[in-house]
A and B are shown apart, each in its own frame.
Chain A
Amino acid sequence: MLSRVAERLYWLGRYLERAEGTARNINVNTHLLLDLPKGTAFGWEPLIFIMGGEELFFQHYRDAGQQNALEFMLADPRNPSSICSSLQQARENLRTLRDVVPREAWEKLNHLHRYANDHYAQAIGGRSRFPFLTQIIDGCQLITGLLTGTMSHDEAYEFVRTGRNLERADMTTRIIDVRSASLLPKHTGDLAPFANIQWMSVLKSLSAYQMYRRQVHVRVSGAEVLRFLFQDAGFPRSVYHCLGEMQQSLSALPRNEVPRRYVMRLKRQVGEAIVQHLAHEGLHEFIDNLQVALGKLHDRIRATYFLTEAPAPNSRSLAA
């Protein structure tokens, strides 16, 4: 497979997952804002920080009010991670991959891209936001399912899967981050009753509530939610599970030494971390470190498979 094709497959997986993750993130924030008592509302600025877009945001907007923040995260073409931009880039990647990806995926993505562009404006205001985000999440899930069910699970597929799981692990850490220290004053007194609601909304935004319930059997607590979302081996959006998926994908690819060893080490570290204590402090730092490690994993994948600057072959290198 061409290096460039592999790279675009990988980014297709990432951008699709990013659109879905961003929709989930906005959802969890919307629910938190609705559930919390008046006066404690933290607004949208923390979310922009968590998505890593604050610098870009304040270049173009003066305040992080609902209108601006949602415009930025849903559709702003200047924000490469907005839902519309992500779908646009997924589409640009897929459009160059029409010889390797089933045609239906292209049709569905076109449809979703068009839907997002036609309807995001109504989602900014409020009432239509939930159905809009649901449509985006459903649409991404549909394409992911379509690829899983109709694309040969060959090298091309493994690149999509690697990209998807890397982005998904990253997004899960960001969604957990919505609940980290920067959002709320240390919850004391009045806000304590709401702590559970917040953890529940985090679970729900990852469609994890039901699976958590079946798995954990105790009341929803910060410590258990963190353990579940970071370390559960079976839940498809847990960081540990995503790293395991990547390990499998990389094992099916040629010349996988460097990235595979890195992902195995990272997986072991995540598995061995004592995440229960993070509910009280250090969560944000832990997540930061994890995100840096995921970045390094990306660099290793890129250096192994995508770099198109390798020198031309000569008779000697070809003989070898």
Chain B
Amino acid sequence: MDTCDANHVMERAPAAKQVTMAIDWEHYDIGAGYDELVEAPGRPRAPAQPLCRYLGSLTRSEIEERKSAAELAIMTMGITFTVYTEEGGSIDRAWPFDIIPRIIPSHEWMRIEAGLKQRVKALNLFIDDVYHQQRIVKAGVFPQELLANSVNFREECVGVDPPHGVWAHICGTDLVRDRDGAVYVLEDNLRIPSGVSYMLENRLVTKRVFPELFEHYSIRPVDDYPSQLFDMLASLSPRPADSPAIAVLTPGIYNSAYFEHAYLAQQMGAELVEGGDLVVGDDDCVYMRTIEGFARVDVIYRRIDDLYLDPLGFGTDSKIGVPGLLRAWKAGRVALANAPGAGVADDKAVYAFVPKMIDYYLGEEPILPNVPTFLCMNTQEREHVLANLHQLVVKPANASGGYGMLVGPHATATQRAQFARLIDHDPRNYIAQPTLSLSTVPTLCETGLAPRHVDLRPFILSGSENYVTMGGLTRVALRQGSLVVNSSQGGGSKDTWITDEV
């Protein structure tokens, strides 16, 4: 584990009575890890040189000013997310944001983008196959029992043909960089990935805080995402001749990602609807209740989990869903993005097979590698995991948001024993991975500038065409040494710059 003594960084005597520089790159200690901006103390990587020079020229109070400007912008813009507490309450928090951006040079990004497109293409072919012939199972490439025990496999979706054969229209793939500088895929979020609005807002905040930097850098813009999303959704419309009526379906304002649902609807000029706004007619079409009566909806970007979508279709007692929605979708009268059942591939055990899927469906080598993954369902691998809990990260196959995972090196003996029992009890539901030494980015902490671990979540759109966001959402673990970047678990975020050579 790479940690850094942040206090050490700041405990230098400030030159008395002089204007003190707040950031001294000579004293920025990255330890043994990989830092995204700095190669070694005092040596910024080439693309980061203008940024580091600029930051180094600011006085302590100028930096404080920039920080407050960002905080003010976030407050005023009302960028919030909701945290669920164990007591069952929820609170709205301002989005934690660090003003120092993360930089990825465009030549490196082009390779990542190609890798993401390749990966999502294979995943969509896999999902379509799973709900049709299951050729990949018959070919012996993918084990039958993983499907049989999948909580995200939807019997109701078998045989359905969504437009373009695409099921996962919006995918958020988490990338991490290890000590050696190599980029790995950590997981693919294919159900209802969130975070893209923060990516867009982070850029707006950074433009307000560091306008002068945008004059010196050639930074690829990110703000065409909403129009790309709109075009992708429109390409799914069952009435391609007309201009499609698109709606974003949200569980409501108490959902942790509500801010994003509202934001995207606004940016796309789509209706933001709740379950109660929609009804399915006996013609299998979906209608919105409006002040003029009922109006038909063609495409629904749904931000509600499968099982809550339709109490009739999935036999649940969901109050936030739309009775009959599944029927309308199967009849081809409305498009749903992502398609119900797409989550079958959003499973950390299924994840382990993605490189094989790329080979099986596309006949290609994976451009982006997986993190080595042990499947606890396999006896040999399970024994290895149980014997090495102290150096592995154990994750439940179906959870998200960083909940319910064990970071072996940080865990107590009791926690490890508890996980050993959990794994024994339900081996299919657990995977383990080596503890990666996630790369860091310089971050302004309470104690001053210090390296903090980051990941990256780009978003991939698939409809009639494919699109990858320019960069993505960089999430940062604000606690020293922490590897957990989820906003619900004390994480923050940074702006991500894809820059052309300067």
Contacts and interface: CB of A to CB of B under 8 A. Distances in A.
Real binding pair? yes
Interface of A: 1-6, 92, 95-96, 98-99, 106-107, 110-111, 114, 155, 253-255, 305, 308, 310, 312-315, 318
Interface residues on B, range: 20 to 34
B485 interface: no
Given A155-B291, A254-B292, A314 B78 contact: no
Given A313-B281, A318-B294, A98 B266 contact: yes
B399 interface: no
A90 B270 CA distance: 22
A99 B265 contact: yes
Nearest to B77: A107
B281 A314 contact: yes
28 contacts: A1-B290, A2-B271, A2-B288, A2-B291, A3-B290, A4-B273, A4-B274, A4-B277, A5-B271, A6-B291, A95-B78, A95-B262, A96-B253, A96-B272, A98-B266, A99-B262, A99-B271, A106-B78, A110-B76, A254-B291, A254-B292, A305-B291, A310-B289, A312-B287, A313-B281, A313-B294, A314-B282, A315-B281
A2 B281 contact: no
Contact of B78 (A96, A107, A305): A107
B269 interface: yes
Given A4-B274, A98-B266, A110-B76, A255 B287 contact: no
Contacts of B294: 313, 318
B291 A1 contact: yes
Contact of B276 (A1, A4, A106, A318): A4
Given A107-B76, A111-B76, A95 B253 contact: yes
B377 interface: no
Contact of A253 (B266, B270, B283, B291): B291
B77 A2 contact: no
* Prevailing SS type, chain B contact patch: mixed
A2 B276 CA distance: 11
Q: Which 10 A-B pairs have the closest CB atoms?
A: A99-B266, A312-B279, A313-B281, A3-B289, A98-B262, A107-B76, A313-B294, A254-B292, A305-B291, A110-B78
Interface string B292-305: 10100000000000
Given A3-B290, A95-B253, A312 B281 contact: yes
Nearest to A254: B292
A314 B279 CA distance: 10
B263 interface: yes
A204 to B, nearest CB: 33
B411 interface: no
B262 A114 contact: no
Residue from B78, B266, B271 with most neighbouring chain A CB atoms (10 Å): B78
B265 to A, nearest CB: 5
Given A3-B290, A99-B262, A110 B75 contact: yes
A2 B289 contact: yes
B280 interface: yes
Residue from A2, A111, A155, A254 with most neighbouring chain B CB atoms (10 Å): A2
A5 B292 CA distance: 13
A111 B269 CA distance: 26
B91 to A, nearest CB: 14
A96 B281 CA distance: 26
Interface string B240-280: 00000000000001000010001101100111111011011
A256 to B, nearest CB: 10
Contacts of A6: 291
A308 B253 contact: no
A254 B292 CA distance: 6
Given A107-B78, A111-B76, A313 B262 contact: no
A241 to B, nearest CB: 25
Interface in B45-104: 75-78
B269 A3 contact: no
Contact of B283 (A107, A155, A308, A318): A318
Nearest to A108: B76
Nearest to A306: B291
A241 B76 CA distance: 35
A3 B295 CA distance: 11
B291 A3 contact: yes
B78 A2 contact: no
Nearest to B279: A312
Residue from B75, B271, B276, B290 with most neighbouring chain A CB atoms (10 Å): B290
B281 A318 contact: yes
A318 B281 CA distance: 9
A94 to B, nearest CB: 9
Nearest to A94: B78
Nearest to B264: A99
A314 B284 CA distance: 10
Contacts of B75: 110, 114
Interface string B407-444: 00000000000000000000000000000000000000
A1 B277 CA distance: 11
A4 B273 CA distance: 9
A313 B287 contact: yes
Nearest to A91: B78
A99 B78 CA distance: 14
A233 to B, nearest CB: 29
Contacts of B279: 312-313
A11 to B, nearest CB: 13
Contacts of A310: 289
B40 to A, nearest CB: 43
Contacts of B78: 95, 106-107, 110
Nearest to A305: B291
Contacts of B272: 5, 96, 99
B262 A96 contact: yes
A83 B294 CA distance: 37
Contacts of B274: 4
Interface in B311-340: none
Given A99-B270, A99-B271, A114-B75, 12 more contacts: A2-B291, A95-B258, A96-B272, A98-B262, A99-B262, A111-B76, A312-B279, A312-B281, A312-B282, A313-B294, A314-B281, A314-B283
Contacts of A99: 262, 265-266, 269-272
A255 B292 contact: yes
Contact of B263 (A92, A98, A253): A98
